[in-house]
Each structure stands twice: as C-alpha cells, then as structure tokens.
A and B are shown apart, each in its own frame.
Chain A
Amino acid sequence: MVMVLRLVDPARADFGQQLAAKVAQAPDFYRDAPVVLDLETLARWPAPPNVDFQALAGAIAEAGLACVGVQNGTPHLTQAAKRAGLAAFPSARPANRPNAAAETDGTAVAAPAPRAAAPAQPPPPAPAPAREAPPAVVQKVVKGKTRLVTEPVRSGQQIYARDGDLIVMGTVNAGGEVLADGNVHIYGALRGKAIAGASGDREARLFCQRFDPELVSIAGLFRIADQIEADLIGQRVGIRIVDDTLVIDRLS
C-alpha cells in the first residue's frame, strides 16, 4: 500500500535520518514502499515555501523508500513536484484510479493513499507500512458506510473502506490487504494485512476468526508477523489500542 508522509517543514535537515530510523524498525515492510507526500500543511502556510522535491525524493530513496507523488498541494507546489518527476494525486479522493507513476512501467496500479494519521508533527506519521510493490489490483473505495466483501481478498488485491467499517465474509489471503477508516471484521482467516483506523482513529478495532496475518495495524500502530506471539496464531482475536500499544485479545 501507499504510505503517506505529511510534509511539515521542508527545511528540516534531519528529515532523511528520521525516515531512515523509521524504516530500520521494520526494513522488510518498508522496502521500496511507495510514498506519497502530503502537502496540506505546507499549502496552509501564508506563503507556501519553495520545496526542493528532487532533494526530498532523493532523501526518501536513500531511506529505502520510493517517492511516487504528492497530494493536497497548491498549484504552485504541485507544479514544482511535477517538474521533479513526481505524480500529482487528486486530493481527498486519491483512490480508484490508476496511478500515473505505476502506469508508465506497466505493472502495478495505484493503491489508495489513506490520509496521514493526523497530528501535524514532524514526519513521518506512517499510518501503515508496506513491504512489496503497490498491490496490482485496487477495488472500489466506498465512502461513509459499512462495506461488505463477499469474495476472498486475494494476493495483490486491496480493499479500502473510507470513512466506514469493512466486513470481509471470507479470507484475506497472503499478499492481500484490507483497510478501513473504521473497524475491520474478517469472518474467515486473515493471512494478509489488515488495517483499521487507517486515518488515525485510535478507537477503531480489528476482529478476525482465524488469525495468521502478515501485518495488523490500528491508527498507525502495527505488528508484523514476527512480532506476534505464536499461541495467538490460528485463534479468534480482537485487536484494539490500549495506552498507546496494540493489544491482541483471544476471543473465546
């Protein structure tokens, strides 16, 4: 999936270091993960600054990620980004259409870029990390109400319920990915990635009938397979945030 980094102060010299530190926490997940820079904060500056997008993209690449585009910029900022070879993603509704950057190499199609987990602090908030190239298939994004998925979610597919809950009747297979701004309920096995509270809602919860994930995340806190206790694997679980940590409860 696409990671969104909110750019707060382009002049911060330690941007690259911060990013590298973040990536070092879970190198496998971040490896070559596509990054979209959110310019919303900058756009609200009285006079939006000049940004050296080329240098930023370079710093991001150095950290082992791939900057693919920007969103929510002013026309001026967006133009500058385009000149640096970045794609401009439509603001607010970034999903559901092929990503220009991915289209040119003919392989993958864009993933929706969930809004960054809100607090406008120094980058990167990194709501949800990713390991592989963006999923090849992106399904419809439905806004505001519960989204019901009756087919299995397959490797390379991604489903995003924006502003609402997601219910998956079947399995989420390895390499598949489900996200919701609200809660995620999976009535089959979870073998891929599941992300609840994708826009930063820390009250969101995640449930599944058979737990064997690649990654689970709520509001930017995440655990990868290696960080999950072996005795939880195969169990029915519920996941929530308690005191800034992800708690995985076995359900009887």
Chain B
Amino acid sequence: MARVIVMTSGKGGVGKTTSTAAIGTGLAMREKKTVVVDFDVGLRNLDLIMGCERRVVYDFVNVVNGEAKLGQALIRDKRFDDLYVLAASQTRDKDALTKEGVVRVIDQLREQFDYIICDSPAGIEKGAQLAMYCADEAIIVTNPEVSSVRDSDRILGLLGSKTQRAEKDEEPVKQHLLLTRYDAGRVARGEMLKVDDILEILSIPLLGIIPENEAVLRASNTGNPVILDQESTAGKAYADAVSRLLGEQLEHRFPAEPRPRGFFARLFGGAA
C-alpha cells in the first residue's frame, strides 16, 4: 500500500525541501518506488535540489489542471530507477492548485508508487493545507528554536482537522518529528532549545536529528541530495531517518558531538 507523506513545518527555511530530497532519495536507494512532489508553487525549488531542473517540461500544476498527462510530467531520476520528481510551476501563482485536482493526481500516484513525498510550502494557509490534505503520514520539520516549535505545534493541530483522514474520521495522520539544523554547540550554550524540551512540547515520536552541516549547502549547489554524501553528518543522519521510516529501531546519534551518558537511552525511551 502506498504511503503518502507530507513534509511540513509552518515556518519557512527550516529544511523541508532539503529533507524531501534526502529522504525521497534514501527511500529509492532502499528500492522503494518513490516520487517527490513539489507543492511550493511559484518557488519551484525541489527540482534544483534534486538536480533535474533542466528537464522540467510539464509540472504538477499542468497535471492537476489536466493540461498534461501524469506520465509526461514525471521526471525520472538519473541516478535511481525507482525515483521520480514531480516539479512545481515557477510561473503560476499559489492558487493554481485545486483540492479536487490534487486528490485526483495523488490517487493516481498511489497506484504507481510505494512512497509519495509531498514537499509543503511554508505557512498554514491554502498551499500548506493542500500539501497535507491527502497525507497518511506527516514529517514535521522543526528547528530547535521557539518560533519553529510553535509553528510545528500549530501544524500538528491542522493535521487533526484539515486532512482527508480527519474529514472522513479515519485513523489519524501518523506523525514524525524531524529536528533539522541542529547545532549541538548552540544548544549547549542555551541559544537553541534542547531536544527533550522540544519533545515535551510537541509530544510526537522522533524520526531523526539532522545536524547543521555545510555539506547540505554543497549538496544543494550541485543538485545531489545530501543523503548521497555518506561521509557527511547530515547524510548519515538522513540515512538513519530513512531506516526508522522503514520500521527499523536505531539509536539517535549526533555525529561528532560529545554528550552526557544515558542521554540517548532517555531520548529513545521517552519519545512516544
């Protein structure tokens, strides 16, 4: 059964697109047939991070509006046969998507793919609500700062009311917390929130902690999702997150950071 997963956050610039590219690619590396869908109409970012921006002819909006067939718009990744990209339009405005159209296209994708990863725009308005509407699961991308945690909390509330699952009174959207741009040094200095405090406020299970890492910028500039750089801390952390998404139990590691003993055990046991 296909899993539709929305990458969402409320706040912008926290790492949704980076995470969509990394986790989507990671799933394809594990031989799951995966499509990453860019819901951020008007900005069109995901294709750049995926390194396929020169191959976009038709986009998600064209398919939703019936101007192109799904097969014409799906871009196959050059590295992995199981990986596809559905790009957003750069020229259309935010209102180009309709709920009915989105539902129709996502349902079509469900027939062909194991994983459909929806990269949400920032905000809590229509664009973000459309991206989450069809979701079975949500990865809440959060930075260790108050405003980001607050926005994530708000998004979690919306997942309980603005999704197809909520409307149909089905089993609720499954929630995962992905802490990104985590800078252990700044956390230790009290400039950023501690993992425990974030978990206490949001009280959802932790999928992974992605460290702040310059490899991300390098990866974005070359169009190679950072998970392909398995030398990097962020790449390893994303690989772990993918494993957890596939049901494996892994400890949370912060590569290269000293930490108090027993901390992981506490985290691991206390995430639920």
- Pick the contact of B156 from A107, A154, A170, A171 — CB < 8 Å? A154
User: Assuming A170-B203, A171-B201, A175-B150, is B157 touching A155 (CB within 8 A)?
Assistant: yes
Q: B160 within 8 Å of A by Cβ?
A: yes
Q: How far is the CA of A154 from the CA of B156 in the complex (A)?
A: 7
B192-209 to A contact mask, C-beta < 8 Å, 1/0: 000000001111000000
Which of chain B's residues 146-203 have a Cβ closer than 8 Å to chain A?
150-151, 153-154, 156-158, 160-162, 200-203
Q: How far is the CA of A136 from the CA of B128 in the complex (A)?
A: 14
* Residue pair A173, B201 in contact (C-beta under 8 Å): yes
B150 cross-chain contacts in A, Cβ below 8 A: 155, 174-175
A101 CB → nearest B CB, Å: 17
* Residue pair A156, B201 in contact (C-beta under 8 Å): no
A156 cross-chain contacts in B, Cβ below 8 A: 124, 154, 157-158
Q: A10 within 8 Å of B by Cβ?
A: no
Which residue on chain B has the smallest CB distance to residue A106?
A: B126
Q: Which residues of B contact A (CB under 8 A)?
A: 124-126, 150-151, 153-154, 156-158, 160-162, 200-203
Q: What are the 6 tightest A-B residue pairs by CB atom distance, in nearest-first order?
A: A154-B157, A155-B154, A155-B153, A157-B157, A154-B153, A156-B154
* Residue pair B203, A136 in contact (C-beta under 8 Å): no
A137 cross-chain contacts in B, Cβ below 8 A: 157-158, 160-162
Majority-rule SS of B interface residues: helix
A133-170 to B contact mask, C-beta < 8 Å, 1/0: 00011000000000000011011110000000000001
Majority-rule SS of A interface residues: loop
Which residue on chain A has the smallest CB distance to residue B154?
A: A155
B202 cross-chain contacts in A, Cβ below 8 A: 152
Q: How far is the CA of A213 from the CA of B200 in the complex (A)?
A: 16
A174 cross-chain contacts in B, Cβ below 8 A: 150, 153
Which residue on chain B has the smallest CB distance to residue A107?
A: B125
Q: How far is the CA of A161 from the CA of B84 in the complex (A)?
A: 48
Which residue on chain B has the smallest CB distance to residue A154?
A: B157
B164 CB → nearest A CB, Å: 16
* Residue pair B157, A136 in contact (C-beta under 8 Å): yes
Which residue on chain A has the smallest CB distance to residue B160?
A: A137
Q: How far is the CA of A107 from the CA of B125 in the complex (A)?
A: 7
- Pick the contact of B203 from A106, A152, A175 — CB < 8 Å? A152
Which of chain A's residues 30-53 have a Cβ closer than 8 Å to chain B?
none
Which residue on chain A has the smallest CB distance to residue B124?
A: A136
Q: Which residues of A contact B (CB under 8 A)?
A: 106-107, 136-137, 151-152, 154-157, 170-171, 173-176, 191
Q: How far is the CA of A170 from the CA of B272 in the complex (A)?
A: 13
A136 cross-chain contacts in B, Cβ below 8 A: 124, 154, 157-158
A106 cross-chain contacts in B, Cβ below 8 A: 125-126
A139 CB → nearest B CB, Å: 8
B126 cross-chain contacts in A, Cβ below 8 A: 106
Q: How far is the CA of A174 from the CA of B203 in the complex (A)?
A: 14
17 contacts between A and B (CB under 8 A): A106-B126, A136-B124, A136-B154, A137-B161, A152-B202, A154-B154, A154-B157, A155-B151, A155-B153, A155-B157, A156-B157, A171-B203, A173-B153, A174-B153, A175-B150, A175-B153, A176-B153
Beyond A106-B126, A156-B124: 20 further Cβ-contacts under 8 Å? A107-B125, A136-B124, A136-B154, A137-B160, A137-B161, A154-B153, A154-B154, A154-B157, A155-B150, A155-B154, A156-B154, A156-B157, A156-B158, A157-B157, A157-B160, A170-B203, A174-B150, A175-B150, A175-B153, A176-B157
Q: How far is the CA of A151 from the CA of B159 in the complex (A)?
A: 13
A180 CB → nearest B CB, Å: 19
Q: How far is the CA of A173 from the CA of B151 in the complex (A)?
A: 11
A86 CB → nearest B CB, Å: 24
A155 cross-chain contacts in B, Cβ below 8 A: 150-151, 153-154, 157
A152 cross-chain contacts in B, Cβ below 8 A: 202-203
Q: How far is the CA of A106 from the CA of B150 in the complex (A)?
A: 21
Which residue on chain A has the smallest CB distance to residue B201?
A: A173
B162 cross-chain contacts in A, Cβ below 8 A: 137
Q: How far is the CA of A220 from the CA of B66 in the complex (A)?
A: 54
Q: How far is the CA of A144 from the CA of B226 in the complex (A)?
A: 55
Q: How far is the CA of A154 from the CA of B160 in the complex (A)?
A: 10
A176 cross-chain contacts in B, Cβ below 8 A: 153, 157
Q: How far is the CA of A14 from the CA of B200 in the complex (A)?
A: 48
Q: How far is the CA of A14 from the CA of B160 in the complex (A)?
A: 44
Residue in A106, A151, A173 with the greatest tally of chain B CB atoms within 10 Å: A173
A151 cross-chain contacts in B, Cβ below 8 A: 160
